[in-house]
Chain A
Amino acid sequence: MTEHKQEWGTRLGVILAVAGSAVGLGNFLRFPGQAAQNGGGAFMIPYFCALLFLGFPIGWAEWAMGRYGGQKGFHSAPGVMGVFGGRAFRYLGVIGVLIPLAVSFYYTYIEAWCLGYFWHYLTGGVGVDPSMPIAAQTAAASKFYNDYTGTANDGLLFGGSYETFVFWLITFAVNIYFVFRGLSRGIEKFCQWAMPAMAVCATIVLIRVLTLGTPDPALPEQNVANGLGYMWNPNFAALANPQTWLAAAGQIFFSLSVGFGVIINYASYMKKKDDVVLSGLTASATNELFEVGYGGMITLTASFVFLGLSGTIAAVATGTFGLGFVTLPVVFAHMGAWGNVIGALWFFMLFLAAITSSLSMYQPSLAFFQESLGISRKAATTLMVSICLVGSFMVIWYSTGGIFWSTIDNWVGTFLIFILAAVQIIAFSWVFGIERGVREAHQGAHIHIPRFYRFVMKYVTPLYLIVVFLAFCRSNLGDWVRAVAEDWRQQLALGLVVAVTVFLVVCTRIGEKRWAAAGLDLDGKRGLD
């Protein structure tokens, strides 16, 4: 239906691209905080349960749906989901284009912070003096972060040093360059280099952290073993708290990038007999390796060794960005000659984690514009870049307190992901049919989905998802709605999301007419040849 024929070069390439999409800042910064606050080592029990009953099944469903839809000539979530569930699911599939597109508005901005911090560590650090009291160091790191991200005032980034904006421009241009080059020559090639590079950086940082010993003999309790203990010592009482199970499910869910619209798009470029079961499992396993194997060992251990128990508890309380961009710069300042090297490696690793994720956010909308409007890749890229420029400029301009982008993150990057994942697993297990779905997934598969997963995918996963979603809504939705009603920046952010959604719905309507006129099986009435 379109001028191009995009394809993955190798199976390893698509696995690394999907894994790259999943591995992001949350693996290194969010996971350790969640684990430490929710039972330490005991957190891993609900965490691995969520992986087995939520992460793997939804992932497999998405991989199989994407490949099946691709065989029908569709590469975007509306097209693919229409094949599985008809018209209603086609329009619900718009969420699968909206999520990656809207999240990219702020994700490249955060990515630019990583690149900027990397640059600063290469050229001398971020101005934290380790001879000052810890509170003063934290204040210095905090001031640098606030100035750098423009949290004090709207428009600060355009009227201040311009540095963050310049790094954002570089980041955005690099993203568009690789996306425009196509799947195999752009995204795949980049991820095949970036993923191993990320592993090397993470390994060096991990080795350095695990060999820190007891840096201050006057404080013998601040050592590596106790730092690991802070993160891993189990508190079984936490398992009785539903919040622990909710946090574990949420972490797995957001970490694996399921329900994001990316896997469906990436898998749609696979050949009919390419394996999806082992590929899906491998991509998820790679994500887990970075999250548990690296994220679970580095961040809090380093913090504990230099800042002690109270300092680490305070650091965790500051959340993902406080931990990554304020606490860790203080920690690096205490590493002496190694500090700037490890700091540079750390932020370069975060930049790679972020860019392999952001690359995956552009391809779904690019494919969608091409196939719905019937335009060339160049025209689709121009359209996508125009939308992204409007969205990103608004994110950068309305920078006060990070309210604008946090609103998009809450409603699109969190709330809508639950919706899309639920729609996908229902379309796969109930509408398409679990037996038929698993049979489709097994085509060309190198391993088979264990038989009991038919039951899991049909009953356990949807139920698990609904329970987690309801608990999530109960905890957050009231506050979010009240916040939107009271804050014009949040209303503006939601207005932007609604405007993009309307545009995507119109494109879907246009595409629907074109696909029907072209004789495509847009409602999935016919089987594959």
Chain B
Amino acid sequence: MTPLGWVFMLGSAIFVWGLTVWCFWRVLSFPDEPPAEQVKEFHSA
């Protein structure tokens, strides 16, 4: 494997792992109902 091969492999793996972990962290850190002010903001728009 060439150094560039490692760069592409690790870069791709870090991107997909990072994105997935970040997304699940955000999903699990919010309650099922949306923040009240966001709803208010939308309705007033």
CB pair B16 A289 closer than 8 Å: yes
- Interface residues of A, count at CB 8 A: 40
CB pair A11 B8 closer than 8 Å: no
CB pair A41 B16 closer than 8 Å: no
B39's partner among A292, A444, A446 (CB-CB below 8 A) is: A444
CB pair A12 B34 closer than 8 Å: no
CB pair B17 A289 closer than 8 Å: yes
Task: Give the nearest-CB partner of B27 in chain A.
Answer: A282
CB pair B34 A233 closer than 8 Å: no
Contact A232 to B8, CB < 8 A, known contacts A12-B27, A226-B1, A292-B16: yes
Contact A233 to B30, CB < 8 A, known contacts A48-B15, A289-B20: no
The distance in angstroms between the C-alpha atoms of A53 and B42, with both chains bound, is: 26
The distance in angstroms between the C-alpha atoms of A273 and B1, with both chains bound, is: 48
The distance in angstroms between the C-alpha atoms of A23 and B1, with both chains bound, is: 28
Contact A44 to B5, CB < 8 A, known contacts A282-B23, A289-B20: no
Interface residues of A in 444-460 (CB under 8 A from B): 444-447
CB pair A285 B16 closer than 8 Å: yes
Q: Point out the residues of chain B lying under 8 angstroms from A228, CB to CB.
A: 1, 5, 9
A286 within 8 A of B: yes
Looking at the assembled complex, report how far the CB atom of B30 sits from the nearest CB atom of chain A, in whole angstroms: 5
Task: Give the nearest-CB partner of A443 in chain B.
Answer: B42
Task: Give the nearest-CB partner of A227 in chain B.
Answer: B1
Looking at the assembled complex, report how far the CB atom of A384 sits from the nearest CB atom of chain B, in whole angstroms: 30
Looking at the assembled complex, report how far the CB atom of B16 sits from the nearest CB atom of chain A, in whole angstroms: 5
Q: Point out the residues of chain A lying under 8 angstroms from B16, CB to CB.
A: 285, 288-289, 291-293
Task: Give the nearest-CB partner of A444 in chain B.
Answer: B34
Interface size class of B (residues with CB under 8 A): 20 to 34
CB pair A285 B23 closer than 8 Å: yes
Task: Give the nearest-CB partner of B19 in chain A.
Answer: A285
The distance in angstroms between the C-alpha atoms of A15 and B26, with both chains bound, is: 13
CB pair B30 A275 closer than 8 Å: yes
The distance in angstroms between the C-alpha atoms of A479 and B38, with both chains bound, is: 53
B44 within 8 A of A: no
Query: Which A residues are closer than 8 A to B by beta carbons?
Result: 10-12, 15, 40-42, 44, 48, 225-226, 228-229, 231-234, 273-275, 278-279, 281-282, 285-286, 288-289, 291-293, 296-297, 439, 442-447
10 further contact pairs, Cβ within 8 A, besides A41-B7, A231-B9: A11-B32, A41-B9, A41-B12, A44-B12, A228-B9, A232-B6, A439-B45, A443-B39, A444-B38, A446-B26
What are 30 inter-chain pairs, A to B, with CB distance below 8 A?
A11-B32, A12-B28, A41-B4, A225-B1, A228-B1, A229-B1, A232-B6, A232-B8, A232-B9, A233-B4, A233-B5, A233-B8, A278-B26, A278-B30, A279-B27, A281-B19, A281-B23, A282-B23, A282-B24, A285-B20, A286-B23, A289-B19, A292-B13, A293-B16, A296-B12, A297-B9, A443-B39, A444-B34, A446-B26, A446-B30
